[in-house]
Amino acid sequence: MALTDQEYRSVTAPIEVALGLPNRAYSSEAFLEAEYERVLGRGWIGIAFEHDVAQPGDLFPVVAAGQPLVVVRGRDARVRVFHNVCRHRGAKLVDAPCSNRQRIVCPYHAWSYALDGALRATPNFSGPNDHTHDTLEEGTQDLIEVRSGLWNHVVMVNLSGSAVPLKDWTAGLDERWAPFDIENMTPGGEMTFSFQSNWKLVLENFLESYHLPAIHPVLNAYSPLEDHLLVVDELFMGQLSLNYKPSDGGNALPRFRDLPEERQAAGEYLLLFPTLMVSVTPDHYRVTIVTPVSPSETHQRWQFYFVGEESREERFAAARDAVLKRVAAYTEEDIAILERLQAGRRSSGYDGGRFSPFHETTTHRFQKLVAESLMGEIKTAGRPQAAEA
């Protein structure tokens, strides 16, 4: 149930981002519920990858902003997202990925829906062998579709339906990444992680390189702190490495063609607000879908993409595997410190901390956007739009 404006004020105020978000922002169930509605719910969030529903009839259930959804590839090849709940008695419809389905059938009373969400059957609703009723007027009990779109291989949704069009949400990043032919990349590996820490701590850690010397000494040895710059834009932020030279040698994979000189040895690691981690280097692109599970637990699903069909060839298998292993190692190094950060949010001796004016402008921008979203002040998500993305 949505919080009232008065309840929001009691949950969120006072938020003073000159310091940092208060401890309750990382430990309170009520605060997370507010974020589900006003931060994750009002913006565009990534929930799945396009290849999760590669073929017509593929269904892929997810949880997004605390709500069960299902991604569906229709017989018309279009990808749609629905609330994953039967309109009859509210049973969850799909609990595992499945393929080659003609309809979506409720396991409770066998109501069934077409892949475009239209209600198709209500068996025995008015009695044995009587399947209809005047209250089941056509179109009134179809599955409820969620506003969705595809961006760089990611299925994106806007739960509220009130955000700006997806192309406007991503416009700044699309312009920045125009030299990279991300559209024509191929999937090349996946991994998942679970952190016993709040989703914001996971992202705040991703947004800065200040912690590299202490937490990632191997990474810092070949991509040192001094080679990193920060990127801060309206809806994306993160870090830019000027020295993308992996410790395993790298440069064995196919690379983007015709990159400008300044992109030839650079890697970018950015957050598309509020929860999508996206990174691009001269030889691969990766996306991380970040899902809050509770105030103190966060799930990550990483997907890696490589340049062109040739990157699938066996001769590149070891190089692809090296990328995954490298990223996994650095992510695992973050786990312990993220747990420490979460534990510290239970201390009355912590007042929000201080931001480094050199290293943490990205973190400050992220927290400011969270606060603005909670208070209904984020400018980019305030105009109701038509159903299409």
Mean pLDDT of 30-42: 96
Pairing of strands 67-73, 297-307: unpaired
pLDDT band (50, 70, 90) for residue 10: very low
Distance between CA 84 and CA 69 in Å, rounded? 4
User: Residue 131: what pLDDT?
Assistant: 60
| Bridge partners, residue 46, by sequence | 156
Comparing 290 with 123, the larger pLDDT belongs to: 290
User: Would you say residue 302 has pLDDT above 50?
Assistant: yes
Helix (H, G, I), strand (E, B) or coil at 17: coil
pLDDT of 14 > 50? The answer is: no
> What's the pLDDT score for residue 7?
47
Contact (Cβ atoms closer than 8 angstroms) between residue 143 and residue 82: yes
137 versus 304: which is more confidently predicted? 304
Q: What is the pLDDT of residue 55?
A: 98
- 253-294 pLDDT, tens per residue? 999 999 998 898 899 999 999 999 999 999 999 999 999 999
pLDDT single digits (tens) 49-78:
999 999 999 999 999 999 999 999 999 999
What average pLDDT does the segment 232-259 reach?
83
Q: Which CATH class is domain 50-149?
A: mainly beta
Tell whether the model's pLDDT for residue 380 goes beyond 80.
no
Q: Among residues of the chain, what percentage have pLDDT more than 90? A: 76
pLDDT value, residue 307: 94
CA distance 221 to 201: 25
Which sequence spans correspond to the domains of the chain?
50-149, 160-374
Peptide bond connecting 14 to the previous residue in cis, omega within 30 degrees of 0:
yes
CB 196 within 8 A of CB 343: no
Please provide the CATH number assigned to the domain covering 160-374.
3.90.380.10
What lies within 8 Å, CB to CB, of 212 at 6+ separation is 219, 220, 223, 224, 225, 228
Tens digit of pLDDT for each residue in 331-362? 999 999 999 999 999 999 998 888 888 999 99
- Higher-pLDDT residue of 17 and 220 is 220
**Predicted pLDDT at 289:** 98
Residue 161 pLDDT:
96
At 249, is the pLDDT very low, low, confident or very high (cuts 50, 70, 90)?
Answer: very low
Per-residue pLDDT for 187 more than 80?
yes
Report the predicted TM-score, pTM, of the whole model to 2 decimal places.
0.90
Q: Give pLDDT, residue 385.
A: 36
Which pLDDT band holds residue 381 (cuts at 50, 70, 90)?
A: very low
Kindly report the average pLDDT of the chain as a whole number.
89
Query: What average pLDDT does range 291-301 have in this prediction?
Result: 98
Residue 39, helix vs strand vs coil? helix
Q: Name the residue among 168, 323, 315 with its Cα closest to residue 234.
A: 168
Residue 18, pLDDT > 70, answer no
